[in-house]
Amino acid sequence: MSKLKIYFIIFLSVIFFNSNKLFSQEANQIETLIRQSEAKQLSFSKEWHKLLHYKSSKSKVISDVKSADFFLNNNGRFDSNAELNDTIKAMLDQKAAGNNHAQCRFPARFKWLKNNLTWPEDNLFDGSFCTDYNKWKMDDDIKSISLIFASGHLSNPASFYGHILLKFNSKNEQNELSLLDTSLNYGAVPPDNENALVYVIKGLTGGYNASFTNQQFYRYNHTYAENDLRDLWNYELDLSQNQIALLVDHSWELLGQEFTYYFLKQNCGYKMAELLNLVIDKPLLPSVKNWAMPSDILTSLADERKHGKKLIKNITIIKSRQNSFRDKFVLLTNTEKKAVSNFILNNDLENLPSVLENEINSNKKVIDTLLDYYAFSLTKKNADPKSIETRRRAILLSRLKLDTKDIEWPSSSPKPPPHKSQNSSMLQTSIVHNDKLGTGVELRFRGAYYDYLSNNSGRSPFTQMSMIDLTMVHQQNKISLKKLDLIHVETLNISPTNLPEDKAFAWKVKAGVKKQNLSCDGCLHGYLSGGIGKGYLVNNNSAVYGMVTGEVSAFGEKTLELNTGLTAGFITGYDDWWKSHVELGFQKSVTSSQKIRKFISWENRFSNSKWWDIRLKIEYDKATEFKISAGYYW
């Protein structure tokens, strides 16, 4: 046998021996770690169940995650112990490499195992080979995490209650709301151009998958603040670096994983609260509710403290294009407002450089307001981009002729953040006296959300939006249903400027079951009603409105009635302590010979608390009724 063959055989023998030794060592390590985990019962631990999104179902568990590649055991979605054992094996696997290694795919799980088991020192997480994961965590350049709340959007049922994002704030950002930072979103994945009714039905019944996705923040800013005209509230959290790392790591594990989406429960608010519960050991959604409201997370976080300090470190706002323009417009003097209006209405490109003679700061304020107006106008469906761009160019040229000093704006009160608004659900008890039916007691439950008289910090003014608003009454020795509003959406679309692109119709939509009027007992009917009209601002706290209304009512199985009418109202208030709403109108049946129905109501709310209020109401609708109510909000 030649020397070359002998050397080759020796070489193969060494490789084989070392491989067996390596695999034997790996098997021993796996066996040791599994024994440790069983002794500590780690598969039953709360942290493990949070990382795998397990929910208990009788004596079993099931994960909310539907994607097979989220689990390292074929039955891992239903077996927490088998998943834990296979996770330990995968973390020690010497054959896998690069971004596909379990340590790269599931860094939060690995770090948790390392902290709870005596992990072999020769298998500690280096991470240098996890290039995708390192890019995700910005090479440890994340200094803080913010919760971003996009205010409610009445043109889309899925956006009525607002939306929640997570934003990872980088250390080297130039400002508090860097648009290049990575952000995490959770939402349903419907087909393109899905019918609105189908979207609502499937959203309520779990007909869509949902997933976590990521984008740089400027994309979400463009979608919500610039296109949808929604304010974005930035709640920066006071978290430790370990807590930040855990949230970043687990977010990486969740990217692209499929869940079932439920509009009222497992929505963005529910999933973001679940994610934050990894580092905040307190429920962020009320346990008494079987539905999830994104705004409830803000309330819980505002009440939460860490070592005596508030968990929310800082709150800032990115105003929508529309609100940015409006807020500047209301700070202008009457002369400056007239200059803005004249330019917009008359398209006076010639006189812009000297709108106000010898008033440089006023000219800059006018020009800055006009720029915001045209930026906001571009979002309109009927916008003429070419014409708008011509005007914007003329305005910018005029601005270049003025000095570069900062604009001196008058001081204004900051807009209160949404967590200071009244809580989203209501339970109300009332003593009521009706001149036809006598005295009684009412119990009212409203699942969500607010009305004209609510303390609506951070919400659109002069709007109301409610779902599942139920009133039961005990009167004349019996309990009966008085009304059930399934949905009630109403907005006056008040514009403080009344300029061409900054005004819209007032409108309302309402559906449910109610009594025909206040004089009858047991005269319930189903209805679908709507209205369209106009609202006008009287002052910062007051508005008047009028609407043409229509209603379809159903009495029994075969009787349908169509009604039309007019409604007018006035809303006012003072310093959040008191709000008042007067509404009057009439309704006439188109399909029957019934007399014209006239009605009027006046309701007052007292209290600036987010938890309770007192209300007084008097109304007439074929009977006169007086009511005093105490409401609790949670």
DSSP 506-561: EEEEEEEEEESSTT-SS-EEEEEEEEEEEEEEEETTEEEEEEEEEEEEEETTTEEE
Residue 19 has pLDDT above 80, yes or no: no
Confidence of residue 12 (pLDDT cuts 50, 70, 90): very low
**Of 430, 432, 605, 628, whose CA–CA distance to 518 is shortest?**
432
How buried is 558 (Cβ within 10 angstroms: 0-12 exposed, 13-18 middle, 19+ buried)?
Answer: exposed
Is the per-residue pLDDT at 84 higher than 70?
A: yes
CATH 3.90.1720 residue ranges in the chain?
140-318
pLDDT at 105: 96
Stated as kind and residue range, the H or E segment containing 272 is: helix 268-276
Report whether 290 contacts 270 (CB < 8 A): no
Residue 330 CA to residue 204 CA, distance in Å, equals: 41
Place of tokens 């002729």: 401
pLDDT-derived band at 557 (thresholds 50, 70, 90) equals: low
Using CA of residue 7, residue 8, residue 11, residue 16, what is the dihedral sign? negative
Distance CA 134, CA 127 (A): 8
pLDDT at residue 7 above 60? no
pLDDT band at 17 (very low <50, low <70, confident <90, very high): very low
* 3-state class (DSSP) for residue 421: coil
User: What pTM value is reported for the model?
Assistant: 0.90
Give the CATH number of domain 140-318.
Answer: 3.90.1720
Fold classification of 421-633 (topology level):
Porin (2.40.160)
Instruction: Tell which residue, 179, 168, 295, has the closest CA to residue 236.
Output: 168
More confident residue, 91 or 19: 91
For residue 88, give the nearest of 110, 69, 70, 106 by alpha carbon. 110
Per the CB < 8 A criterion, the answer to whether 56 and 38 are in contact is: no
pLDDT greater than 80 at residue 498: yes
Interstrand relation of 463-475 and 624-633 (parallel, antiparallel or unpaired): unpaired
Residue among 272, 254, 270 at smallest CA distance from 262:
270
User: Burial code of 410-442, b = ≥16 C-beta within 10 A, e = fewer?
Assistant: eeeeeeebbbbbbbbbbebebebebeebeebeb
The pLDDT-based confidence of 163 (bands split at 50, 70, 90) is very high
Q: Which two tokens stand for residue 605?
A: 């709310």
Three-class DSSP category at 367: helix
Look at residue 476 in the predicted model and tell me its pLDDT. 92
Instruction: Please check whether residue 46 is in contact with residue 282, taking contact to mean a CB–CB distance below 8 angstroms.
Output: no
pLDDT of residue 495: 92
pLDDT of residue 173: 56
**Mean pLDDT calculated for residue range 401-405:** 85
Residue 14 has pLDDT above 60, yes or no: no
Average pLDDT value for residue range 397-416: 86
Structure confidence by residue, pLDDT tens digits, 309-362: 789 999 999 999 999 999 999 999 998 999 899 888 887 666 664 555 667 888
Range with the poorest average pLDDT among 154-163, 207-216, 249-258: 154-163
For residue 215, the one-letter residue type is Q
pLDDT of 549 strictly over 50: yes
Weakest mean pLDDT among 347-351, 502-506, 607-611: 347-351
Mean pLDDT across 498-509: 93
What is the arithmetic mean of pLDDT over 363-373? 92
- Confidence label for 124 from pLDDT (cuts 50, 70 and 90): low
Average pLDDT over residues 412-431: 93
The predicted model gives 618-623 an average pLDDT of: 98
pLDDT of residue 286: 86
User: Quick one: pLDDT band at residue 24, thresholds 50, 70, 90?
Assistant: low
Confidence at residue 22, expressed as pLDDT on a 0 to 100 scale: 46
Written as one string, the DSSP assignment of 50-116 is: HHHTEEEETTEEEES---GGG-SSTTTTT-HHHHHHHHHHHHT-SS--GGGSHHHH-HHHHHHHHHH
Instruction: Report pLDDT digits (tens) over 251-275.
Output: 999 999 999 999 989 999 999 999 9
Question: What's the whole-number average pLDDT of the chain?
Answer: 89
Closest-CA residue to 533 (of 576, 488, 585): 585
Tokens of 322: 């529309």
pLDDT band at residue 174 under the 50/70/90 scheme: low
Please determine, for residue 53, whether its predicted confidence score (pLDDT) is greater than 50.
Answer: yes
pLDDT at 21: 47
pLDDT > 90 fraction of the chain, expressed in percent and rounded: 66
Q: Which residues does residue 580 pair with via DSSP β-bridges, in sequence order?
A: 572, 604
Q: How far is CA 224 from CA 43, 162, 212, in A?
A: 41, 10, 17
Task: Identify the residue with better confidence: 11 or 74.
Answer: 74
CA-CA distance, 458 to 473, in Å (whole number)?
Answer: 33
Instruction: Label residue 11 by pLDDT band (50, 70, 90).
Output: very low
Write down the pLDDT at residue 379: 87
Q: What pLDDT, on a 0 to 100 scale, did the predictor assign at position 3?
A: 56
Report d(CA 182, CA 269) in Å as an integer: 19
The DSSP code for 354 is G
Token pair for 526: 């189903």
Is the pLDDT at 208 greater than 90? The verdict is: yes
pLDDT at 102: 94
User: Which DSSP state fits 183?
Assistant: E
Q: How many residues does the chain have?
A: 634
Whole-angstrom distance between the N-terminal and C-terminal Cα of the chain? 88
Encode 192-208: b = buried (16+ Cβ within 10 Å), e = exposed.
eeeeeeebeebbeeebb
Please state the rounded mean pLDDT for residues 160-183: 83
Work out the average pLDDT over 10-18.
46
**Who wins on pLDDT, 138 or 64?**
64
H/E stretch holding 8 reads helix 3-40
How does DSSP assign 284-304, residue by residue? Answer: SS-TT-SS--HHHHHHHHHH-
